[in-house]
Each structure stands twice: as C-alpha cells, then as structure tokens.
C-alpha cells in the first residue's frame, strides 16, 4: 500500500482545514504521497461540511462527478457529512470506499493500509479527549491550532453538536507544544480554534488563562482565536485582549439575529441588549477593535419586525464585515420541528437587503482607515501585481502593500492610501524587526 498517492479536498470551516492538515500529516508519515493532480491520485479524499444544505449538495455533486476514468481510484469521504450520512454515501458513487466520521478520520492511515477490497464505514463517536499531533508543512506564515473539539451549545438550527460531538478540551501543554513547533517552522501567527473557544476549560484553566499561558510559554508574535460565543465572552477576556500586543485586536462574535424572540428560539442564551453591552465594553477597552459576525436570515417564524431588529443592530454596531446566511433546515436539529415557514424569495430578499447594508458599512469603515498606519504581516504576493504583497493588519483586515513583495514574511508598517469594502491598499512606511 506504500507510496500510494492521495488527493485531498476540504470543504467548510477552519476546523476542517486543520483536520485536513492532520490527515495529510498522518498519511505522509505512513508513507503515502500527497498529489495536487486529482486524476493521478490512487485515493481522492473529501473532507466535508454539513452546516448548511448547500455545503452538502456541493460535496455530493463532487463525489458523483469523480470518475476513475479507467484507473482504479478510491474515494474516501471524511468529516461532518461522513458522520451524518454514514453508509448512505456508499451509494452516491460506487468508488466511495471509505466513510470516516469526525472521530474516526485520525485512523485513516491504518484504514487505507489495511484496505482489503471491502467498504469501511466508521462513524463511531469516542467522547474522550483527543490529541493528535500534526507535522507542520508548507511555507505558510499563519496556521491553526485546535484547542477544543465539539460543541455543547445546541443552538437550535445547528448540526455541529450532532456531527462533532460533545465539547472536549485539549491540555494546555499540548497546545503550547504545537504552537512552539509551528513557530520553529516559521509561523508568525496562529489561530486558536474551537467551536466556542470561550468555554475552554482544562482543570481550572479557562480561555483567558489559556491565552496567558500561551503568551508566557511561546514567542509566537501574533495570536488570534475563533469562534467566540457571546454568552461566554467575558470581561476577563476583553481585559486579556487589551493587555497584550501579541493578542490581535480582532474578534468574530456571531450575533445570528437582532431579535430577542428569534435569539430565544435559536437557543442562543443572550438578548440583543446583552450582546450590545459586550460590544460596548469591547470598544471601551480596545477602541480600534475589528469586529466581525455571522447572521442568519429567514429563521423559522422570523417576522418583518424581527428582521428589522437585525438590520437595526447591524446599523448600530457597524461590523467591519459579516458572514450572512439564509436559514437552512438541518435534519435532527430542534429547529427542524419549527418548520421552514419563511418562503425562499423572502429569505433571499432579506439576505440581499442585509448584504447591501453591510457592504455600505464595510466601505465606510474601510475608508476611515485611509491615512492611518497599519502593521501588516506580508503573507503572499498580491494577485494584481507581483511587486505588491498581501496580508492582514492586527485586527484582521486585508491589506495590499504596494511594493511589499521584497519584504514577504515580515511585519511592515503600511500607510493606507485607498480602500474598497474588503481590502485596504497602502504603501510601506517602515519595517518592524
Ligand atoms: N442555516 C444557516 N446558517 C447556519 N449556520 C449554522 N447553522 C446554520 C443553518 N442551519 C451559520 C451560523 C454559524 C455559521 C458558522 O453558520 O451563522 O455561526
Ligand atoms: Fe453550532 Fe451554536 Fe455550537 Fe456554534 S455554538 S457550533 S452555532 S451549536
């Protein structure tokens, strides 16, 4: 089985990207070879997402269209959709041979090695702490480190707790070790990942204490984290963010809706007022903090008035950017029982209105950066010109630095000269050692 080539494709969130990296690391350690050439691969692996129906449809379409074109090519479906659909996936394409769920994918090397012609579906759930070690690979400057898996929140629309299981936190010393390994391999920024990092708990260590531990025991210059649940977003964390330059001043704080009635039905456990209060405290402590969010429109029962409240909140808060979604029924969730009563055209109209509002706000906020100096980690050459470099400022906004490609991999001070709703453009004003 050695020296077989695998091709790996990833759908969905950053957690899946992290897991794909782990799969790559497990397989290459076992002697498999990664290829970017799908047709030349012996095994095509799809790491899938179930969060919305659209994500599943895309992956199903892909699975159907993979054709071995004469060569014996096997398909492995892993991740959330594998966990949710199990052996149903075997009938999507006769080349699907392995279906490995969110707690089984780490066995992938043994499973592929022992392949004896039979189909293998493993969606067993082990609700025990996980700790798999991945080898850093590639040249990127920024990487992910998972600090917890699963979710206990059961927001009524969300499939994640069902496909990723209960919350399990990783020991702080293993997190620190992984960050230090990435640092030694040239990373300058790490993202601490979890479905709800704010509920991290290991013995007596909570998330803000974990950040303190990471600051003390690593030298990684930039630390970001994702995702925060507003109900657990604490004053201690705000103070921790404000107190250390290495913690980036950007936060993703999904609001989901601006209506108390909808938030209650969503089981989000906060009101719009409480959410606003946290935003105010955050801005009091860190005036230039970059705030992004997730919003769902067309949740069951969402009235015009509920939707108006969402628009009002967006107008009041002025997010730097937002991910906005139409509600998508997920089978087995609590919201499935509420029915899907908002017609598709109403969902689309609301989404369109919200996107237009947010775009206007993003444009205005980005334009306010013109003339300011931003510290940017120059990560890659810009698409438009090989002389320019792209990166993120401290808050996480995208910046193109004119003439920056000479300094790739470095932090630079960039003076912002122009902007669009999604990108700032500026000139190098200085470099940071
Ligand atoms: N329908 C639409 N959007 C959803 N999300 C999660 N579940 C659903 C669903 N059933 C969105 C939420 C979440 C983001 C990752 O995806 O906004 O924060
Ligand atoms: Fe889903 Fe809510 Fe958990 Fe996020 S916090 S993963 S939206 S259940």
The C-alpha atoms of residue 107 and residue 306 are separated, in whole angstroms, by 46
Cα dihedral 185, 146, 241, 51 sign = positive
Give the residue from 51, 129, 109 showing the smallest Cα distance to 83: 51
The C-alpha atoms of residue 105 and residue 18 are separated, in whole angstroms, by 12
Contacts of 243 (CB under 8 A, 6+ apart): none
Q: Residue ranges of the domains in the chain?
A: 5-122, 142-365, 373-431
E strands along 60-206, which residues? 74-79, 96-100, 120-122, 142-146, 148-149, 168-169, 189-193, 201-202, 205-206
What is the whole-number distance in angstroms between the Cα of residue 302 and the centre of ligand 1? 15
Do residues 20 and 10 lie in contact, with contact meaning Cβ atoms separated by under 8 Å? Answer: yes
The residue nearest atom 2 of ligand 2, judged by CA position, is: 155
| Percent of the chain scoring above 90 in pLDDT | 87
DSSP 91: G
The whole-number pLDDT of residue 67 equals 75
- Lining ligand 1 with CB less than 6 A are 51-52, 157-158, 254, 256, 294, 296, 325, 327-328, 330
Looking at the CA of 52, which ligand is closest? 1
CATH 3.40.50.280 fits 5-122, yes or no: yes
What is the whole-number distance in angstroms between the Cα of residue 327 and the centre of ligand 2? 14
- Quote the mean pLDDT of the chain: 94
| pLDDT band per the 50, 70, 90 thresholds, residue 214 | very high
The residue nearest atom 12 of ligand 1, judged by CA position, is: 294
Q: In this structure, what token pair is assigned to residue 166?
A: 């209960």
pTM (predicted TM-score): 0.95
Domain boundaries 142-365, corresponding CATH code:
3.80.30.20
| pLDDT band per the 50, 70, 90 thresholds, residue 127 | low
Do residues 390 and 425 lie in contact, with contact meaning Cβ atoms separated by under 8 Å? Answer: no
| pLDDT band per the 50, 70, 90 thresholds, residue 401 | very high
> Does the C-beta of 229 come closer than 6 Å to ligand 2?
yes
The residue nearest atom 5 of ligand 2, judged by CA position, is: 153
pLDDT tens digit sequence for 63-94: 999 876 666 789 999 999 999 999 999 999 99
Domain boundaries 373-431, corresponding CATH code:
2.40.50.140
What is the whole-number distance in angstroms between the Cα of residue 214 and the centre of ligand 2? 25
Task: Provide the H-helix boundaries in 155-223.
Answer: 160-164, 172-184, 207-217
The C-alpha atoms of residue 408 and residue 201 are separated, in whole angstroms, by 37
What is the whole-number distance in angstroms between the Cα of residue 239 and the centre of ligand 1? 29
pLDDT tens digit sequence for 217-275: 999 999 999 999 999 999 999 999 999 999 999 999 999 999 999 999 999 999 999 99
Do residues 126 and 103 lie in contact, with contact meaning Cβ atoms separated by under 8 Å? Answer: yes
The C-alpha atoms of residue 196 and residue 271 are separated, in whole angstroms, by 18
CA-based angle 23:29:32, to the nearest 5?
A: 75
């Amino acid at each position: 089985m050695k020296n077989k080539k695998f091709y790996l494709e990833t759908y969905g969130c950053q957690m899946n990207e992290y897991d794909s990296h782990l799969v790559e690391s497990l397989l290459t350690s076992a002697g498999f070879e990664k290829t970017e050439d799908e047709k030349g691969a012996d095994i095509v692996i799809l790491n899938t997402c179930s969060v919305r129906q659209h994500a599943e449809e895309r992956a199903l379409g892909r699975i159907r269209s993979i054709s071995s074109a004469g060569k014996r090519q096997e398909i492995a479906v892993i991740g959330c959709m594998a966990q949710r659909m199990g052996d149903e996936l075997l009938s999507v394409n006769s080349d699907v041979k392995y279906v490995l769920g969110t707690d089984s994918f780490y066995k992938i090397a043994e499973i592929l090695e022992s392949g004896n012609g039979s189909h293998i579906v493993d969606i067993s759930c082990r609700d025990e702490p996980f700790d798999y070690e991945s080898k850093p690979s590639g040249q990127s400057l920024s990487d992910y480190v998972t600090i917890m898996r699963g979710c206990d929140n059961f927001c009524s629309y969300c499939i994640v707790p069902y496909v990723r299981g209960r919350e399990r936190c990783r020991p702080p010393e293993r997190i620190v070790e992984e960050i230090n390994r990435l640092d030694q391999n040239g990373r300058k920024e790490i993202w601490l990942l979890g479905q709800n990092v704010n509920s991290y708990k290991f013995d007596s260590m909570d998330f803000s204490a974990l950040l303190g531990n990471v600051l003390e025991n690593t030298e990684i210059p930039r630390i970001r984290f994702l995702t925060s649940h507003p109900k657990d977003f604490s004053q201690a964390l705000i103070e921790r963010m404000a107190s250390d330059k290495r913690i980036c001043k950007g936060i993703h704080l999904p609001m989901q809706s601006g209506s108390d009635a909808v938030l209650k039905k969503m089981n989000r456990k906060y009101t719009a007022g409480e959410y606003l209060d946290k935003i105010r405290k955050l801005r009091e402590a860190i005036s230039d903090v970059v705030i992004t969010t997730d919003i769902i429109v067309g949740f069951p029962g969402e009235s015009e008035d509920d939707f108006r409240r969402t628009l009002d909140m967006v107008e009041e808060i002025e997010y730097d950017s937002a991910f906005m979604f139409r509600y998508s029924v997920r089978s087995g969730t609590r919201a499935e029982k509420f029915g899907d009563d908002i017609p598709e055209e109403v969902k689309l109209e609301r989404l369109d209105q919200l996107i237009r509002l947010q775009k206007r706000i993003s444009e205005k906020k980005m334009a306010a950066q013109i003339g300011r100096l931003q510290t940017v980690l120059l990560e890659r050459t810009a698409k438009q010109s090989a002389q320019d470099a792209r990166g993120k400022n401290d808050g996480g906004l995208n910046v193109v630095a004119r003439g920056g490609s000479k300094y790739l991999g470095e932090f630079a001070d960039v003076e912002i000269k122009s902007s669009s709703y999604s990108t700032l453009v500026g000139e190098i004003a200085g470099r940071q050692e």
